Amino acid sequence: MTTERTPETATQADIKRYQANLDDEIDGIAIYQMLAEAERDPKRRAIFEELAEVEVHHADVWRAKLREAGVAPREHGPSLKMRALGWLARRFGVRSVLPIVRNMEAGAYTAYMAQGEAGQAIAPDERDHRKTMSRLERGEVQPAEAITQRESWHRGGGGGTLRASVFGVSDGLVSNASLVMGFAGAQTHGDIVLLAGVAGLLAGAFSMAAGEYVSMRAQRELFERQIELERQELEVSPEEEKREISLIYRAKGVSREQADAMAAQLMQDPEVALDTLVREELGLDPSSLGSPWGAATGSFLAFAGGAVVPVLPFIFAPASEDVSLGYVVVSAVLSLVALFGVGASLSLFTGRSALFSGLRQTALGAAAAALTYVIGSVIGVSTGG
């Protein structure tokens, strides 16, 4: 068997790399064993156990390289990151961590391909592990089901935005109506109630926008990372990717000859091949990864749109006088009407009747506002308000 170097010529950089590879493989063994323990399905559990055995072989390769270099391998338990992933798998289910493990395997493949003979011999296994993670993540769906899933992904672009907007309006309505009613119940001056309402509107809207921006940015970066990894694999192993494209079309019912011809034609343009792999293998649309700024702006406007409703009557309330019951009633009526409209809109997503959804949303919002009004009244009396 040929080796990258003889023991006499192994450098400190080589030894450091061997140990780092061994550390990564020990983590790989641990995470697959933990996934096997957390997995309830026997067939999927067996897959994780087999993957762990492969990682055991990889670890032995790097132990042998270290010994050849005259260095005793440094053994250790799984890293904190692997322990955290194992906890997440047990707590939230195995599929919740599969995207993270898939990206780890993709990174390992790229790293090994940049190393010498031993690393490049292991790299195809890491690539296969990533493919396995992708299939397990999708649940080994049939082609027809995969098409349905991708269609729901695309529908989620518009439908998801609409749904988020409706929930944003609902959050703004309930939270700010409760806030305004609490201050109104304390019998404070009109300008205080107005100030509280505007402050609640801005604070909630900015909070929603910031949260949505961070969430969408993280999601987009994850998708971009997956696409970039696919691009790297296309550059490093074009023949493997061509076979992958062919298999995709064969799974759709295309004959082997036609699938091979289509794959060869697509591979003539790397960008077209990448687009095909990203759409078919990852289930992503490269042109529709989501806009963080768009999501943040939409969340801000949706929350503000709902939060402004209970504040409107107090714009006309006397600034230096206690709020009269009339303004409170008008604010409550406007809020209840808006809550009913939001609840009825939610029926588009839940399948319930518009009347049922509207009344339920109205009842929940009214209960929250009434409770804060009572609390505000008690606080106002106790402080002499």
Predicted confidence (pLDDT) per residue in 194-203, tens digit: 899 999 999 9
* 154 pLDDT above the threshold of 50: no
pTM: 0.56
Question: Is the Cβ–Cβ distance between 111 and 236 less than 8 Å?
Answer: no
* Angle 230-154-349 from CA coordinates, rounded to 5°: 140
Question: Is the Cβ–Cβ distance between 22 and 77 less than 8 Å?
Answer: no
Per-residue confidence (pLDDT) for residue 354, from 0 to 100: 81
* 229 pLDDT above the threshold of 80: no
Q: Give the domain 7-138 fold.
A: Ferritin (1.20.1260)
Tokens of residue 356, six digits: 């049922």
CA dist list (Å): 226 to 31, 51, 63, 113 = 20, 21, 31, 17
Per-residue confidence (pLDDT) for residue 305, from 0 to 100: 92
Which residue has better confidence, 119 or 334? Answer: 334
- Which residues sit opposite 322 in a β-bridge? 189
pLDDT above 90 covers what percent of the chain? 18
Mean local confidence (pLDDT), 144-160: 38
DSSP secondary structure, 126-144, as one string: HHHHHHHHHHHHHTS--HH
* 30 pLDDT above the threshold of 90: yes
Question: How confident is residue 163, by pLDDT bands cut at 50, 70 and 90?
Answer: low
Least confident of 112-116, 214-218, 262-266: 112-116
What is the total residue count of the chain? Answer: 385
Q: Which candidate, 231, 257, 260, places its Cα nearest to that of 245?
A: 260
Break the chain into its structural domains and give their ranges: 7-138, 156-211+292-382, 225-282
